[in-house]
Structure formats: C-alpha cells, structure tokens
Amino acid sequence: MNIVIKNKFTFILLCNLFFLSCSGENKNVDKEVKVEAQVENTFNSDDYDFVLPQPISLAKAFQASGLSYHPNLTHDVSKKDKYFDKVKQLLNLGVYSTDLAYSAINEHANEARAYLKAIQLLGNQVGLKPVFSDKDLIDRFDKSLNNMESVEELIYEIQERSEEYMQDNDLRYLSIVQFSGAWSEGMYLGIKDIELSKEKNEKMSVTVVDQMNLLKNIIKGLSTYPNSDTVLKNVNKKLNQILTEYNEFESVKKSTSNDVFVSPVLTDSELKKLSLMIYELRTFIIQ
Amino acid sequence: MKNIYLTLVLFFSLVLLLSSTISEPGDPAFNARINTYKHECKQLIKPARYEGSRVTFYTASKNSQKKSIETYFLMDTEYRIAFSGKESSVKLNVEIYTSMDPEKRVLLKEIKNLQGKNTSVSSIELNKVFHKKVNQTDRLKSVYIEYKIEGGNEKNEAIVMVLGFMD
C-alpha cells in the first residue's frame, strides 16, 4: 500500500515538474520570438502615457483650416526604393502616409494610388507584413478610385489595422518613429501652404500651433526606441531644437504665462523661423 | 517520507495554481478579455471613427496609485472617449482635466467607480464645462485623463481607453 501511495505521489510530483518545466520552456520560446517586444512587455504601464492622432487626422485638420492642394509639394514617390535603413524606412512610411491622406482628401486619386503602393512597400520592409501584405489592397483601392469616400475609408482601415498591430505586438516605438515622419510632412505642407497663399490664413497658423502641441510627446515617444540609431538621434536632436526655439517665441511664452492655456498667435518672423526648422527636418528625413 | 512527498506535491500544486491565475499581457485569456473590452469600447464610441486606444496595465497593491493619458482633439469636431474598467477589481475613478499642470488644470469630468463596467464621454460635454468654468471662447485641444486606482489585493489588471472622432 505504501509503495502504491508513494508511486502515486511520485507520479503527481513528476507531472507537476513536467508541467512546470514545459511552461518554463514556453516562456523561453516567447522570449526568443518576441525579442523586440520586451520594451513594453512589463506589466505596469508608465504613469504618464499619450495617444497621438492618425496621419489622416493631421491632414484633415489642415484641410479644415483651408489647406489648398499644391502639386509637387509632396515627397517624390520614386524615392521609396532608396531607403535601406529601417529608421529611414519608418520615417518615410510616415511621410508617405501623410502624402497619401493629403492626395486622397484633395481627390487626387492617381497620386494617392502611388502613395498607397509606397506605404505598402515600406510597411512590408519595416516588419508590418500582416498589415500591408494584403494583395487585395490595391485592387480595393482601384475599385474605389472614383469614390473618394471609399478611398478614405480604406486609409482609415489601414491606419487602424497598423496601429492595433503595433500595439498588440508591443511595437509601439515603431509607430512613434512613423508618426514623427507623418508629423514633419504635415507641418511642411501646412507651412508651405501659408507661404504660398496670397491671402493671410490665420486659421492655418492656428492649426500649425495646434500640431506643435504634439511635439513634446513625439520626442518622449522616440526615446523609447530600443536601439541607438544615428538617424533617429539626429531627428530627435532636430525635434528638440524646434521645441526649444518654439517655446522661446514671445507669443508662446506669453500664452503659457496665462492661468489657462491660450493658443499663441505666431508673428510672421516666428512663423518664418519655425518654417526654416521644419524644412531642415523634412529634408533630413526624406534625403 | 510520506509527509515529505505530500508537502512537495502540495507545494508544486500551489505553485502551478498560482501561476495559472496570474494575468499578464502575454496571457492569451487576459489578452482575449482586453480585446473584447476594446471592441466594446469601439462600439460605445460609434458612429465616431477610431482614432486610437491605450491599454493601461497596473498591478493593484495595498497602496493607491495614479496613471494618466493625454489625448488630443486636433480637429474641430466631436471626439468620444470610451473607457472599460471591466478588468479592474479595485475601486477606480477617472478624472478628466484641461492640462497636466496641477496648478493650472481645471477638472472637466469625474467618473466614479468605473471598476467592472464601461462608459463613454463626449468632447461636447467636456467643452461645455470648459466654457462654463473657464472664460474661454476657444475649444479644448487636448485633455489629460487621470486614473485614480485604489488599493486592494495584489493582482495584475488593466484599463482600456478608446478615442474616436465624428467625421
């Protein structure tokens, strides 16, 4: 009897040890598969977090302020094959995302189609194949070509899938790099529009200022990128410089000294200074 | 000898039992529940378009804690924010402020006892309070959401937030 009991216990003990060792192995496999996922895969989220808008929202905010369509302002789509560095690919994925939205909301279907192909290519290159490998994507776009609402619908769908994929797979740092490219392109298009408009558009200046409010969180987000990267360091340096100079503008200092934040109205010289810094950043990103 | 075996078996069984009930982001059951709550939040903000979401993970402990999220209302349209406290067992209050600066911020909305349920809020409602409390003609461009998580039994939990806008 004793032997039977002893054997039963031994059996249960061995089973326990077996299951424990199995679960340990699984954890190791998970670690190997998700090397990149370790950045955010701790249980406690940061005490402070943020949600950045989608690139199409950046373009739509500018559009609502009266952004006109200027041909040839967007990034050269033929450059899409020239980016071999992952950070450059991510940054330009963002740039092309804004250009796609800018073309679509201004009903330039052919340009939008070319940008969709560009983001599909770069999306696949940066590891977002589950989002961008959909063979039907271009077919669906072509079917919607004469209906810009359907094209916008498709863009929203891609952005939602892309955002969710990156969040679910702890790849949020990739989306921040992409967003910084999208932001710089949006700011470039907005500021260029102010420059090219014959009449002064105060609403556009307000939208530029609104989008400057995103910058502190873009900079914070970029610092979560796991690897030390020269391109990213340069982008971060330029973004920090833009934010520092912007915060030193008299109109900005005046607005932040109020008890409640009031959007500053930038003077022409402040806008000029800001535009030069944005052009420099954008040139660095797309070169 | 029998007692040693019995103790070992009980010990390993306890370890197994505990490890199977701990929730974490890598746990499929936990992730499935979070996805369900996210989906419920997406339904709550409809017909608004999805703008983004954030899952805030925390470990409930004896002490209370705070977590916060900043969101932007970039476009001049209605934004909707949905929250799910269904993965929270401890008392959870949500406060929405104009900014993160504790000296300048104005409380726009307080949601009490979110644990175990879902709710949503519209920027129209927040803007009304903003205009009433602050002598401002401008609209809200961003809001600062603060989760106040009370103390409780040690457990890994999460709060889901989904943001959308009316197109």
| pLDDT tens digits for range A214-273 | 999 999 999 988 878 899 999 999 999 999 999 999 999 988 776 666 788 899 999 999
pLDDT, residue A69, reads 92
Q: Mean of the pLDDT values across residues B136-145?
A: 89
pLDDT at position A81 over 70 = yes
DSSP per-residue codes, B35-102: HHHHHHHHHHHTTSEEEEEEEEEEEE-SS-EEEEEEEE--SSS-EEEEEE-TT--S-EEEEEES-S-T
Q: Mean of the pLDDT values across residues A141-152?
A: 82
User: Lowest-confidence range among A220-224, A277-281, B1-5?
Assistant: B1-5
pLDDT at position B37 over 80 = yes
Which residues make Cβ contacts (< 8 Å) with residue A78, sequence separation at least 6?
none
In chain A, whose CA is at the least distance from the CA of B155? A43
Query: What is the distance between the alpha carbons of residues A10 and A39, in angstroms, rounded to a whole number?
Result: 41
pLDDT band at A129 (very low <50, low <70, confident <90, very high): confident
pLDDT at position B104 over 70 = yes
Closest by CA position to B129, among listed B99, B107, B112 = B107
Given a contact cutoff of 8 angstroms between Cβ atoms, the answer to whether B94 and B83 are in contact is yes
Which residue would you say has higher pLDDT here, B84 or B16? B84
pLDDT band at B17 (very low <50, low <70, confident <90, very high): very low
pLDDT, residue B23, reads 59
pLDDT band at B144 (very low <50, low <70, confident <90, very high): very high
Locus of tokens 């971060």: A236
Q: Count CA atoms within 13 Å of residue B80 on its CB side.
A: 17
For residue A89, the Cα-to-chain-centroid distance in whole angstroms is 12
Q: Mean of the pLDDT values across residues B34-63?
A: 95
Q: Count CA atoms within 13 Å of residue B9 on its CB side.
A: 17
Which residue would you say has higher pLDDT here, B25 or A8? B25
B74: how many CB neighbours lie within 10 A of its CB? 25
Provide, as residue numbers in chain A, all residues whose Cβ is less than 8 Å from the Cβ of B9: 9, 12-13, 16
> What order of strands is seen across the sheet that includes strand B49-60?
B49-60, B155-165, B79-84, B118-122
pLDDT at position A24 over 80 = no
SS3 A88: helix
Provide, as residue numbers in chain A, all residues whose Cβ is less than 8 Å from the Cβ of B166: none
pLDDT, residue B10, reads 57
Q: Which long-range contacts (CB under 8 A, 24 or more apart) does A197-203 make?
A: A197/A68, A201/A65, A201/A66, A202/A265, A203/A65, A203/A66
How far CA A139 is from CA of A117, A118, A136, A154, B74, in Å, comes to 11, 15, 5, 11, 32
> What order of strands is seen across the sheet that includes strand B107-111?
A48-51, B65-72, B142-149, B92-97, B107-111
Token pair of A90 as six digits: 């991510």
Query: What is the distance between the alpha carbons of residues B69 and A176, in angstroms, rounded to a whole number?
Result: 16
pLDDT band at A38 (very low <50, low <70, confident <90, very high): very low
- Residue A213, sorted as left (phi over 0), alpha (psi -120 to 50) or beta, turns out to be alpha
Which residue would you say has higher pLDDT here, A131 or B137? A131
CATH top-level class of B47-165: mainly beta
pLDDT, residue B96, reads 98
Q: Does A117 touch chain B (CB under 8 A)?
A: no
Which residues make Cβ contacts (< 8 Å) with residue A106, sequence separation at least 6?
A63, A69
Backbone angles phi, psi at A273, to 5 degrees: -60, -45
Within 13-52 of A, beta carbons closer than 8 Å to B belong to: 13, 16-17, 19-20, 23, 30, 41, 43-52
Given a contact cutoff of 8 angstroms between Cβ atoms, the answer to whether A206 and B76 are in contact is no
Which residue would you say has higher pLDDT here, B16 or A171? A171
pLDDT, residue A28, reads 38
pLDDT, residue A15, reads 46
Angstroms from A6 CA to nearest CA on chain B: 7
pLDDT, residue A71, reads 87
Query: What is the distance between the alpha carbons of residues A183 and A55, in angstroms, rounded to a whole number?
Result: 7
Q: What is the mean pLDDT of chain A?
A: 83
Q: Does B161 touch chain A (CB under 8 A)?
A: yes
Q: Does A146 touch chain B (CB under 8 A)?
A: no
pLDDT band at A279 (very low <50, low <70, confident <90, very high): very high
Provide, as residue numbers in chain A, all residues whose Cβ is less than 8 Å from the Cβ of B26: 30, 41
Given a contact cutoff of 8 angstroms between Cβ atoms, the answer to whether B72 and B142 are in contact is yes
Provide, as residue numbers in chain B, all residues whose Cβ is less than 8 Å from the Cβ of A263: 138, 141
Which residues make Cβ contacts (< 8 Å) with residue A278, sequence separation at least 6?
A184, A187, A188, A191, A242
Which residues make Cβ contacts (< 8 Å) with residue A44, sequence separation at least 6?
B57, B58, B59
Sign of CA dihedral A222, B37, B77, B112: negative
pLDDT at position A179 over 90 = yes
Query: What is the distance between the alpha carbons of residues B115 and A138, in angstroms, rounded to a whole number?
Result: 44
User: Lowest-confidence range among B9-18, B51-60, B107-116?
Assistant: B9-18
Sequence ranges of the domains in chain B: 47-165
pLDDT at position A5 over 60 = no
Peptide linkage before B47 cis (omega within 30 of 0): yes
Q: Count CA atoms within 13 Å of residue A161 on its CB side.
A: 16
Query: What is the distance between the alpha carbons of residues B31 and B16, in angstroms, rounded to a whole number?
Result: 20
Of A5, A64, A262, the CB nearest to B138: A262
